[in-house]
Amino acid sequence: MCGIIAVTGEGASVEILTTGLRRLEYRGYDSAGVVVQTRSDGFARYRAAGGTKSLVALEEEAGRYHGEIISGIGHTRWATHGGPTLFNAHPHFDCLEEIAIVHNGILENFRELKEDLLAVGHVFSSETDTEVIAHLIEAQLPFSRNLAAAVAIVAKRMRGAMAFVVASAGEPGVLVGFKRMAPMVIGTDGKSWFLASDIPAILDRASTFYHIDDEHIVILKPSGAVMCDLDLHEVPLESFSVDWTLESAERSGFDDFMSKEIFEQPGALRDTLAGRMTPDGSLVLDEQPADPDLWARINKVFIVACGTSYHAGMVAKYAIEHWTKIPVELDISSEFRYRDPVVDERTLVVAVSQSGETLDTLAALHEARNLGAQTLAVCNVVGSSMARLADAVLYTRAGPEVGVAATKTHTSQIGALMMLALQLAKVKGQLYPQEVQELYRQLLSLPNKMSEVLELWEEMRALALRYGGRSRFYFIGRHVGYPVALEGALKLKEISYLPAEGYPAGELKHGAIAMLDADAVVFALATRTRLYEKVMSNIEEVRARSSSIVVLGNPGDESVVNADESFVAVPQVHPLFAPIVDVIPLQMFAYHVARGLGNDVDRPRNLAKTVTVE
Ligand code: F6R
């Protein structure tokens, strides 16, 4: 949902901005732009619009700039207000082109604010909500001490979740950022200071990183950074460390990030699991809850998440209920706070999110806290908003995930949630510490099984060739196979744009079976999990409708398919852990189909990796 980068100081350059934008491109690529500022010559703006080609054009254009810059701001856009055109591309200016802004998020009350500005003669050159902020600051600046003071006043008038950075022609080298429920971090190498929507954008530049609190502004100068509340009271900066390497944020010889991240899954899960269980079967969290007795009090778990993270949460529900006998509710984050969830201080609300910034999940976490629940964030980005908000944190240690379609973070999330299930089971006396240890040992063996599954790469390419031209795909499974079916369908939809549906296999006969014909392809999740035999019966129902069948099963079960059907063999593991290995062939199938169609798998159309709008 738009990427922001900004730099000020000795080392500031156009290249820092465009390299940062390249690493933020997964947040949107409708257009790209930069504004650079010299000490004496004011602003120079470069913008390009044209989907995934925007940044290439920008790099060429802005790369020709040879002035000695002191600071700059850059943006890659995922359009919300106004189409993906050049005149809507950020950075935006005020009337006099003396305020430049890049913005991520939505200014919800932009209409009324814009009307006020139009009434007093402001002239707009885009359809964006962002430009309204530039004009608001322009109007406020003559009555304020400086840019920071003007931004603080304007921020109080704005509604909606957002982060933005502004520069003023009158204050060369000064950048002012504002953050409200949208990601933005500060980084420095000692010579330059950076603001960025995400860490990878500045991973090769900054050695120290600082959090920015919501409802705060940051003032960056070549000499340093200061954070203030909206009454301009200074608040100390809190640093955090990042152990991601630059290599982990690069393609490293792979054709794209998605294939790299598929292949990184065994390592990502291994890192997520390593050293997490004490000998007595207690889970080692990254942030412990203030109250150590919290776990014993929990009598209900509520999982909130979106998309692929939601599917990981679904798998967790089966495991937590099986091992702990604690009821688990599951909600799509955007639904959670608009109903009346039954949550109290004995409920553990678990927010599952790769980014830790997804606005719907962040808002659900806020709501859970307001309702008095205990909260746990399971996320991948250290220091993300959810990690900072929740009472306790369990990080997946999957490294940066750049491909828009989540893969390695999904399997790592399931691994992390399995450990949570074991922890709860131990505390509730439902499993002995030795049983927890034995299950943890089985979890630790999964990365090797995943490596075996990765050997199916060519086989899945062949299946994609065989079936990729079909018009409709169904993924069916039962019990933990059901979330895998949903995830298989989601992966295929989001990168191939083909109609795909995930279905509980037993539910097919209640309606969707009417869709089956010879053009449909049905993937059946039929590894040896709890309802194996029932899935077999469901496959018979499909067979009778002459659709093509691909069965995902365990070695030894090859005979369940007929000669004209396909069988994909994945290693057998503990039934509750099966989604971690079973989902991988489906990721690979989606990948190969999308590549076969010539699609950009890392940057699928209409999508952005971190969804920071409601
Ligand atoms: C799909 C995908 C999305 C995300 C969803 C939540 O491949 O990546 O469905 O899972 O937008 O994002 P996070 O996990 O960052 O909260």
Q: Is the CB of 306 under 6 A from ligand 1?
A: yes
Residue 252's SS3 state is: coil
Q: What is the pTM of this model?
A: 0.88
From the CA of 609, how far away is ligand 1's center (Å)?
7
Name the phi and psi angles at 133, rounded to 5: -65, -40
Pairing of strands 99-105, 92-93: antiparallel
What pLDDT sits at residue 608? 77
Alpha-carbon distance 18 to 29, whole Å? 13
Instruction: Please choose from 27, 258, 308 the residue to mutate so as to test ligand 1's pocket, defined by most ligand atoms within 8 A of CB.
Output: 308
* Catalytic position from the list 2, 228, 306, 379: 2
What pLDDT sits at residue 36? 96
Residue position matching structure tokens 């990796």:
609
Q: Is the CB of 405 under 6 A from ligand 1?
A: yes
Q: Would you tell me how many other CB atoms lie within 10 Å of the CB of residue 542? A: 20
Q: Would you tell me how many other CB atoms lie within 10 Å of the CB of residue 190? A: 12
Alpha-carbon distance 387 to 391, whole Å? 8
Instruction: Please choose from 261, 353, 386 the residue to mutate so as to test ligand 1's pocket, defined by most ligand atoms within 8 A of CB.
Output: 353
- According to DSSP, residue 608 is labeled -
Tell me the CATH number for domain 455-596: 3.40.50.10490
Alpha-carbon distance 212 to 9, whole Å? 19
Q: Is the CB of 361 under 6 A from ligand 1?
A: yes
Alpha-carbon distance 42 to 54, whole Å? 24
Residue position matching structure tokens 């909130």:
304
37 has which bridge partners? 43, 71
Helix and strand totals (H; E) in the chain = 19, 25
**Per-residue model confidence as pLDDT tens digits over 134-170:** 999 999 999 999 999 999 999 999 999 999 999 999 9
From the CA of 314, how far away is ligand 1's center (Å)?
14
* Amino acid at site 102: V
Cβ 107 vs Cβ 133: under 8 Å: yes
Closest ligand 1 atom, residue 404 Cα: 8
Alpha-carbon distance 254 to 240, whole Å? 30
Cβ 551 vs Cβ 568: under 8 Å: yes
Nearest CA to ligand 1 atom 8: 406
Residue spans of the domains in the chain: they are 3-249, 260-449, 455-596
Nearest CA to ligand 1 atom 5: 307
From the CA of 334, how far away is ligand 1's center (Å)?
13
What pLDDT sits at residue 346? 96
Nearest CA to ligand 1 atom 11: 307
From the CA of 407, how far away is ligand 1's center (Å)?
10
Alpha-carbon distance 256 to 603, whole Å? 10
From the CA of 405, how far away is ligand 1's center (Å)?
8
**Per-residue model confidence as pLDDT tens digits over 470-494:** 999 999 999 999 999 999 999 999 9
Q: Is the CB of 612 under 6 A from ligand 1?
A: no
Q: Is the CB of 406 under 6 A from ligand 1?
A: yes
Closest ligand 1 atom, residue 310 Cα: 10
Q: Would you tell me how many other CB atoms lie within 10 Å of the CB of residue 18? A: 24
Cβ 229 vs Cβ 215: under 8 Å: yes
What pLDDT sits at residue 20? 95
From the CA of 355, how far away is ligand 1's center (Å)?
8
Q: Is the CB of 610 under 6 A from ligand 1?
A: yes
* Amino acid at site 278: T
Q: Would you tell me how many other CB atoms lie within 10 Å of the CB of residue 397? A: 21
Q: Which class does domain 3-249 fall in?
A: alpha beta
Q: Is the CB of 2 under 6 A from ligand 1?
A: no
CA distances from 15 to 25, 59, 515 (A): 15, 8, 52
What pLDDT sits at residue 225? 98
Q: Is the CB of 259 under 6 A from ligand 1?
A: no
Q: Is the CB of 313 under 6 A from ligand 1?
A: no
Nearest CA to ligand 1 atom 10: 308
Burial state string for 398-437 with b = 16 or more CB within 10 A and e = fewer than 16: bbbbbbbbbbbbbbbbbbbbbbbbbbbbbbbebbeeeebb
**Per-residue model confidence as pLDDT tens digits over 577-605:** 999 999 999 999 999 999 999 999 998 88
* Catalytic position from the list 317, 408, 491, 609: 609
Close Cβ partners of 601 (under 8 Å, ≥ 6 residues apart): 256, 258, 259, 403, 405, 495, 591, 594, 595
Return the structure tokens found at 42.
Answer: 């004011």
Instruction: Please choose from 306, 310, 613 the residue to mutate so as to test ligand 1's pocket, defined by most ligand atoms within 8 A of CB.
Output: 306
Residue 306 annotated in active site: no
Close Cβ partners of 50 (under 8 Å, ≥ 6 residues apart): 31, 57
Nearest CA to ligand 1 atom 6: 306
Name the phi and psi angles at 256, rounded to 5: -160, 170
**Residues lower than pLDDT 70 in the chain:** none
Closest ligand 1 atom, residue 379 Cα: 14
Q: Is the CB of 354 under 6 A from ligand 1?
A: yes
Q: Using alpha carbons only, how large is the chain's radius of gyration in Å? A: 25
Architecture of domain 260-449: 3-Layer(aba) Sandwich (3.40)
Q: Please tell me if the domain spanning 3-249 has the same topology as the one spanning 455-596.
A: no
Instruction: Please choose from 611, 612, 613, 614 the residue to mutate so as to test ligand 1's pocket, defined by most ligand atoms within 8 A of CB.
Output: 611
- According to DSSP, residue 429 is labeled T
Residue 609 annotated in active site: yes
Cβ 535 vs Cβ 523: under 8 Å: no
From the CA of 102, how far away is ligand 1's center (Å)?
24
Strand order in the sheet with 328-332: 328-332, 300-305, 347-353, 374-379, 392-395
Closest ligand 1 atom, residue 305 Cα: 16
Burial state string for 252-267 with b = 16 or more CB within 10 A and e = fewer than 16: eeeebbbbbbbbbbbb
Instruction: Please choose from 354, 357, 361 the residue to mutate so as to test ligand 1's pocket, defined by most ligand atoms within 8 A of CB.
Output: 354
Nearest CA to ligand 1 atom 3: 307
* Amino acid at site 237: L
